[in-house]
């Protein structure tokens, strides 16, 4: 743990997928590896900032000098973020949170009886969309947007509807970038401009993102 007297800012990072249980042996999830979020957590910690990494299940090594809070479901991630975000200066949401979860978790393993099986899903709570209200976060808020079409337009919509300072938009239909890859290609969508970054290793990209986000936070503090 880094002591609160350490210079630097308090940063919350969400990373990885969530797992939504169906029955005792099955779950719904997605292809997020956690690489992007872990690289961002590492980049801030390496510069001496205090980082809380709230992560779904991944096989990534936990970066050094990072406070680590593992969670499994979208609901658990929601609760963990709600408990910690108010004291943060910067919050970055790189996790791929399930948008829907099974309406009921079957207590016993589902048997293969019929030719078809229908699962009823219900919406999960939007964590990024709760950051300002009801969580009361007033710091620098950075969301991601994983899109397969209309990348910039959808990202810009998320920027304003979730009251973010920046959306990091990735086109996840491109092979070799986005989910589970070592590389990513993103557009930084700010309220007044967009900046397309060249495709890069997630580690290099994370360093660049950390720098851009710290600049944004410094600008916000000046206002």
Instruction: Give 8 or 105: the residue with its C-beta nearer to ligand PMT.
Output: 105
**Helix/strand/coil for 211:** helix
Q: Taking Cα atoms as reference points, which of 144, 18, 12, 15 lies closest to residue 74?
A: 18
Q: Which is nearer to ligand PMT, 25 or 68 (CB)?
A: 68
Shortest distance, position 107 Cβ to ligand PMT, whole Å: 25
β-pairing, 166-171 with 140-147?
parallel
User: Which residue in the set 41, 54, 66, 145 belongs to the binding site for ligand PMT (CB under 6 A)?
Assistant: 145
Q: Which of 172, 146, 134, 150 is nearest to 93 (CA)?
A: 146
Verify binding: residue 95, ligand PMT, rule CB under 6 A: yes
Q: Does 35 bind ligand PMT (CB under 6 A)?
A: yes
Q: 169: number of CA atoms within 13 Å, CB side?
A: 25
The reply to whether 172 sits near ligand PMT by the rule CB under 6 A is yes
End-to-end CA gap in the chain: 31
Comparison of 110 and 196: residue with beta carbon closer to ligand PMT: 196
Indicate which single residue of 75, 121, 179, 200 sits in contact with ligand PMT (rule: CB under 6 A).
179
Identify whether 30 is a catalytic site residue: yes
Q: Does 96 bind ligand PMT (CB under 6 A)?
A: yes
Report the distance separating Cα 13 and Cα 117, nearest Å: 37
* Nearest Cα to Cα of residue 86 among 5, 142, 10, 26: 10
Q: How far is the CB of 197 from ligand PMT (least distance, A)?
A: 12
Q: Catalog residues that contact ligand PMT under the rule CB under 6 A.
A: 14, 32-36, 74, 93-97, 99, 124, 126-128, 143-146, 158, 170, 172, 178-180, 184
Catalytic residues: 30
């Amino acid at each position: 743990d880094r002591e609160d007297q350490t210079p630097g800012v308090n940063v919350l990072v969400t990373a990885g997928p969530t797992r939504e249980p169906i029955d005792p042996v099955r779950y719904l999830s997605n292809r997020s590896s956690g690489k992007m979020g872990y690289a961002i957590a590492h980049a801030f910690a390496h510069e001496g900032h205090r980082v809380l990494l709230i992560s779904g299940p991944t096989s990534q090594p936990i970066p050094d000098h990072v406070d680590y809070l593992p969670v499994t479901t979208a609901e658990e991630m929601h609760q963990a973020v709600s408990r910690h975000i108010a004291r943060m200066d910067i919050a970055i949401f790189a996790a791929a949170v399930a948008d829907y979860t099974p309406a009921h978790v079957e207590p016993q393993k589902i048997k293969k009886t019929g030719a078809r099986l229908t699962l009823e899903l219900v919406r999960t709570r939007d964590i990024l969309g709760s950051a300002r209200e009801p969580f009361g976060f007033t710091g620098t808020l950075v969301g991601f947007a994983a899109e397969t079409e209309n990348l910039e337009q959808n990202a810009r919509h998320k920027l304003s509807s979730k009251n973010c300072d920046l959306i990091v938009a990735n086109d996840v239909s491109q092979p070799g970038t986005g989910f589970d890859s070592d590389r990513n290609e993103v557009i930084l969508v700010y309220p007044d401009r967009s900046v397309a970054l060249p495709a890069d290793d997630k580690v290099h990209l994370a360093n660049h993102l950390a720098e851009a986000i710290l600049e944004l936070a410094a600008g916000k503090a000046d206002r």
